[in-house]
Structure 1
Amino acid sequence: MTTENNRPATANRPVSEPDPQFERLLQYLKEARRFDFTGYKRTSLMRRVNHQMQVTQTSSYEDYRDYLELNPDEFTKLFNTILINVTSFFRDADAWNQLRSEILPTLLEQKGAAPIRIWSAGCATGEEAYTLAICLAEEMGVEQVRQRVKIYATDVDEEALAEARMATFNERQLRNVPKELVEKYFEHSGQRYTFAKELRRSVIFGRNDLVQDAPISHIDLLLCRNTLMYFNAETQSNIVQRLHFALENTGVLFLGKAEMLLTHSAVFTPIDLKRRFFRKVAIPNHRAERGLIIGSSPVYGQPENHDYQGKVRHEALNSSPVAQILLDLEGRLLLSNQRAGALFGLTSREIGRPLQDLELSYRPVELRSHIDQALTDRRPVWVRDVEWTRGQNTVWLDIQVAPLLDRDGALLGTSLFFTDVSRYRQLQGELEYAHRQLETAYEELQSTNEELETTNEELQSTVEELETTNEELQSTNEELETMNEELQSMNDELQFSNTELRERTDEVTSLNNFMEMILTALQAGITVVNRDLQVQVWNSRSEELWGLRQEEAVGEHLLNLDIGLPVQHLRPLIRQALADDGEQSSITLDAVNRRGRAIRLNVAVSPLRQTDDQPAGALIVMSVQE
């Protein structure tokens, strides 16, 4: 069934919900004709397929698939409907002026004398590629273009490519090309204009599917205008990656009005966002660099003054901001600095006592096991983030247990360092809190950014839809323009025919006036009847004789007229005149005129013959005898 507006019922399904029948149709096109439409936007794609279904009078996608199987020629019509080949010379003149004034001069300066490779993807019927050739010829000269430039123009529509290869255009297609450039780069022949052969050799046309085929590489300037807008976001992303691969590191991408690459800033950066010029972002191959840190232990020379150096070392240890204690091999306390005394309440009375007898051995943390591990492994042992609460104050300590070794590697004792990291822990807490706040703000920002990106994508999709609709309207406008031209031609023909008809009418009117003058000038009554004896002519003299006006007599049967003439006596003469070999005959009759006076008439009846000599009527001349 179809809906009231004659659209397939399956087309009423929401765009966000895939139509299984439609997806199977796309899969069939991909398998049967090697053309993948699955990456196209469903809204515009379904609209074009539905249009073709209306033309073929099929009511569902399944029926249309069957129709395609039975009618192979329908594939071409469907592809022509889906692939809208709307293009023109110097389309969006402002962008082309930017290309000529800034982009091309910069490109030519960078390339020097090296060859230049340009790719026009989605070229349709070739106007864009030939526009590029004209711009380059204006900048470099025709000979340089022939020697150094290759313009690769690709599309998926073979019919459009065939038309592009012909390189011939009409006046309407060249309406955007300045007159001086038309005269310079086109050869005029009849109603067509052919592109210059010297430049035509630099343009190479070929089929390339941006979705499936490998991109052309080492491109300096890539034009892909009003092509991405037909694809969904995923397919667009894949195509953009292919275009990025195709371009050189200094390459420039030229897009259409509806394409902005807002979500692809990692691979393309705008040169002129308004006119849609983008530069490729080079992605280098970074290698991980590893640093090597080499440490060395200080080597002390033999002290020259043991008492002085021992005093310096003792005071240095005592004034250290890090709490430190020294133990001998038996685990007895040998030394503690001021910071350790203040932190753990150690005094000179604890010197020489075993560590296990001191509160320090188990508070703030069990130290004996760590000391045993350090002495056994002969390497420092760290105990980090030890929390210790003293009254209402809480501190955090990092504890290092380090074995003391002499130059021969023999154990001398153990050194314990207690580093107060409370400030760092507080800062870490504040940092973690700030980090959590930042994460929350970042998540909110990310959510806002995603919403904004979604809105931008929806806006871009809307712009693309509007651009697509504009393309369709432009195509419709071109069709209407063609119909208008045809109607104009028909109107000209009708005006010509109307002029001829008016001239003929004037001639007939003039002839009638002339005949009227003749009939009026005659002193006899003139009457003309056709083969059915109906009065065709009734002159003014007949009106005077019988008192019957012309409009009362014309069209009436002669024998039915109520006049003073005995018309029954004229019947044999009229029949004789209307015979195939009829001749003129006459008779004299008594009659009564319109005043009631008796008169005597001479009546002559003559045949009126057509060009084929067949009698068309009879002429009756009535004259009064004096």
Structure 2
Amino acid sequence: MDRVDSQFEALLLHVKELRGFDFTGYKRSSLMRRVDRRMSQVGITDYGEYQDFLEMHPDEFTALFNTVLINVTAFFRDPEAWEYLRAEVLVPMIEAKAPGAPIRVWSAGCASGEEAYTLAILICEIIGPEAFRERVKIYATDVDEEQLAEARHGAYGQRSISVLPPELLERYFEQSGNRYVFRKDLRRSLIFGRNDLVQDAPISRVDVLTCRNTLMYFNAETQARMVGRFHFALLDGGAFFLGKAEMLLSHSNLFLPEDLKRRVFRKVPRLTAPTGSALVEPPSVPFRGQLTSLDQLRNAALLGSPVAQIVITAGGLVAFTNGKANELFGLAALDVGRPFQDLDVSYRPIELRKHIEQAQAERAARRISDVEYKGGGETLYLDVQVNPLFDADDGLLGVALIFHDVTASRQLRADLELANRDLEAAYEELQSTNEELETTNEELQSTVEELETTNEELQSTNEELETMNEELQSTNDELQTINEQLHRSGTELDEANAFLDAVLAGLRSGVAVVDRDLRVLVWNQEAENLWGLRSAEAVGRHLLNLDIGLPVDRLRPLVRQTLGGDPNTDELLLEAVNRRGRPITVRVACSPLMGSDEPAGAIIAMEAGEFAPGQPGHPPVQPQ
């Protein structure tokens, strides 16, 4: 399994380097199942071999991406949730905005665009077409270029638009042939573009963000990274709309649930640190003079804090370290004033410099969880918090690093997370019996993607099952055709073999069939009775090498004449000795075994009678 896993990871890296698709954050069980499905379609079972196949056939990348990226969407999918979004989110949000203020919406993982156009319809129904064209921008993104191309056209078939009420269909779509096209004047407010949620920068300053049934395909680490980007993208108090199979219970510091049933969450606003909220104001030079009693008290409290803390100036110098940080990372008073990048703690146990730069750039706190640190002969687990510090004018003062020792609480946190999943599962069971797979999904983390996908398929009128059926239909048809052909061929072959066996068994003469090289192909029962040589001993051997009582070397001219295509061959009467040692006279006849153009072999018939020298009326026997 280690070798298979390493080959699979190498395949993912190959895809990322050549085509820019980063699947490394996807859940491995689901991802391997989909890649295996595509490999089986091209007849490959080894990941390394499939990587070579991709290099030789660049067009295969498209088929692989279409298999891995499950694009299942629809207009007003889960109507009750969309109605809640309209009444409780969009309407209050638009009413709270100043007249003419822009409205920005992001549909992440939009697939073929139905979700983005649903948002457009809802907002247009609230503010009207004219205001919609002037104020609204809907950004719809996906990693699948083919799906984005389809979404940009905004053209859908009868099946896709069948869920729309007739009045909405009439107001927002124009019929073109057998397809329905979203209004061109409104479509200009929708911007479709490629965006990889794992590695690309997010759309910023959006009021509403929808990302339905996308997070569930990624592992926990990648989900946390994506949720952090979504938090950055939304304005304070912005709404985050998820799919029915997704929850954000472990990200309560970023989003709070507004309605769990409909999967609507609100962004937790950033708390800008006021003046003086830093652990200590970082000095540009070492402390001089006497501290006031208040400064002494504050400094003593910070130095004696049980939580390790390090403060860094905006210029990257160490401004402050407390006693716990000195003990944990081996720091000393002389390290204050040194560049932080020169200290071991800047890169061990984790590379902190990039997180500091990102926190300063985004002007938002960052948290790195469960960092393993081996110090003092024991292994600790730390949560590292990177807090940018600002002055009264919102200018950057520096960064505070806070190291929380969570070793003792790590197991408790895992138990609490499991309990939360169990509670969520129980809640979902009360909402609908159709969400049973989702509750199991919360209890069994290792199979969460499969269960959530199946649950989503059952609640979406078998939408994903239809997708899988379409992929498997052609293979099933081919297998059925091949099975039928094999069955007919097998039946015909059995009948032919039975018929041939019956014919050979019914002959009163010994029969041997040879190929053009005089190798025995058939040796019937009468031949066995005549010479005492079993079929298993004769088949495959050269005719002239058979040790029987017949002078087989005398047959060569007769057989060669037959193989040469001469239809007028004479019979031979040969003196022989049968399997009982009795002298007999054998009449030998030879006929061609015809192939497509020439004889493929010869059929030798041997009819025997007892031989008595000088017997009257007996035909002459050719001398040996």
Q: What is the TM-score normalised by the length of structure 2?
A: 0.49
Scaled by the length of structure 1, the TM-score of the pair is 0.49
